[in-house]
Amino acid sequence: MKEVWVIGAGQLGRMMKYAGTPLGINVHPVNVDDPDLAAPSPGADAVITAERELWPQTPSAKALQAHANFRNKSVFGRTADRKTQKELIDSLGVATAKWLNVEADTDAAQCYEQLGETVLLKRRSGGYDGRGQLWLKQGDNDTLPDDWKNSAIAEEKCPFDEEVSLVGARTESGELVFYPLTLNLHVDGILMASISPLPRLGHLQAQAEGMLGAILEELDYVGVMAMECFRIGDRLIVNELAPRVHNSGHWTQAGASISQFEMHLRAITGLPLPKPIVRNTSVMINLIGIEYDEAWLSYADTQLHWYNKDVRPGRKVGHININDSSIEYLCRALDHLQSHLSDNYIEVLTWVRAELR
Ligand code: ATP
Ligand code: MG
Ligand code: MG
């Protein structure tokens, strides 16, 4: 039986474990945050991967990252730091938001001069769900707060039409497979909903695959990577990269013959990886800070993934995938769900319905 060990034991590792079982792959997510957890000792044939970009140097993390089969070992450090990630993207000539590194002597005037009158500071590492970001506006903020110096990049404000992402994988022999582009709705920096595929995004697919393909090649990457983009007219601009399975690829659990979790496992263990067949249209709704409701299980086209985490405001505690053969059925499922979700979802589901129609 193939053995895969995962650095991290959150929902992504958990879903990887589910995806591995039918393939005869034994997946072991490891809670590397626990300083008291004994170092695991995977066999020589085991493969090591990660569900996150950053982790503490605990005994378990050290043991896993020292294994000879830790895939993409050199990539994590490079993409976990926004500065080196941006340098990588720039070096390939792939479009990304204009940026500068915030150093000890960088001042606000320099940021506005180079990036425009509204600037977004982003911590170089550790940020997620829009945490670790600060908007600055010329006239309102004339100095850079000291605690952002030497630890952040500054980005121009992208006047985007919408946000899309591409999830794809590279195999050990260099083959590339991609899902169709996904349209994403973020509210206050948190992903709330995704839709894929959407025919109106089809003309951007080749552009997106060219961008992510170049990045995967350059890194000699093996496994799934996600590329978040802004769409401005017919142009895509990379927002950020995630060297792992990604929330915007969760719809593939319901909408593709091979989910992103299975795709990643196949790629890193050298199993065949044909291009997945994508069925119908899928919608993914993130469950953020909301209590479990059994009523979500009442609809046949609706698939619940509950992460078994404590519910806290703003925390991702699960997601719902909806896949059905007609837009009418999808919209009916959304109508059903709306009565079992909190009021802040009205705006989200309205967005989804408008996109589908
Ligand atoms: P994630 O949870 O996806 O890892 P994150 O905390 O790493 O998020 P980003 O993806 O960089 O943060 O930004 C979060 C959101 O903030 C984006 O999806 C987008 O809506 C908005 N945003 C980020 N950068 C810019 C920008 N340069 N201009 C305008 N909006 C931006
Ligand atoms: Mg991020
Ligand atoms: Mg992001």
Indicate whether residue 116 lines ligand 1 (CB < 6 A): no
As given in the structure block, the two tokens for residue 125 are 């590492």
What is this structure's pTM?
0.97
Indicate whether residue 186 lines ligand 1 (CB < 6 A): yes
Cβ atoms of residues 282 and 254 within 8 Å: yes
Q: How far is the CA of 24 from the centre of ligand 3 (A)?
A: 32
User: In 3D, which of 185, 53, 188 has the Cα closest to residue 131?
Assistant: 188
Cβ atoms of residues 178 and 209 within 8 Å: yes
How many whole angstroms separate alpha carbon 59 and alpha carbon 251?
Answer: 35
Q: What is the DSSP letter of 342?
A: -
Q: How far is the CA of 153 from the centre of ligand 2 (A)?
A: 13
Which residue owns the Cα nearest ligand 1 atom 5? 128
Among 86, 137, 240, the mutation site with the greatest number of ligand 1 atoms within 8 A of its Cβ is 240
Which residue owns the Cα nearest ligand 1 atom 19? 189
pLDDT by residue for the chain (357 residues), tens digit each?
899 999 999 999 999 999 999 999 999 999 999 999 999 999 999 999 999 999 999 999 999 999 999 999 999 999 999 999 999 999 999 999 999 999 999 999 999 999 999 999 999 999 888 899 999 999 998 999 999 999 999 999 999 999 999 999 999 999 999 999 999 999 998 999 999 999 999 999 999 999 999 999 999 999 999 999 999 999 999 999 999 999 999 999 999 999 999 999 999 999 999 999 999 999 999 999 999 999 999 999 999 999 999 999 999 999 999 999 999 999 999 999 999 999 999 999 999 999 998
CA distances from 256 to 103, 112, 187, 260, 266 (A): 45, 44, 26, 9, 15
Indicate whether residue 228 lines ligand 1 (CB < 6 A): yes
Q: What is the ipTM of this complex?
A: 0.98
How many whole angstroms separate alpha carbon 237 and alpha carbon 218?
Answer: 18
Cβ atoms of residues 211 and 94 within 8 Å: yes
pLDDT for the residue numbered 1: 86
Question: Can you tell me whether residue 41 is helix, strand or coil?
Answer: coil
Please tell me the total number of residues recorded for the chain in this structure.
357
Backbone angles phi, psi at 100, to 5 degrees: -145, 155
Q: What share of the chain has pLDDT > 70, as a percent?
A: 100
Indicate whether residue 2 lines ligand 1 (CB < 6 A): no
Query: For 19-78, what is each residue's pLDDT tens digit?
Result: 999 999 999 999 999 999 999 999 999 999 999 999 999 999 999 999 999 999 999 999
Asked if residue 197 has a cis previous peptide bond (ω within 30° of 0), the answer is yes
Q: How far is the CA of 70 from the centre of ligand 1 (A)?
A: 29
Query: For 167-180, what is each residue's pLDDT tens digit?
Result: 999 999 999 999 99
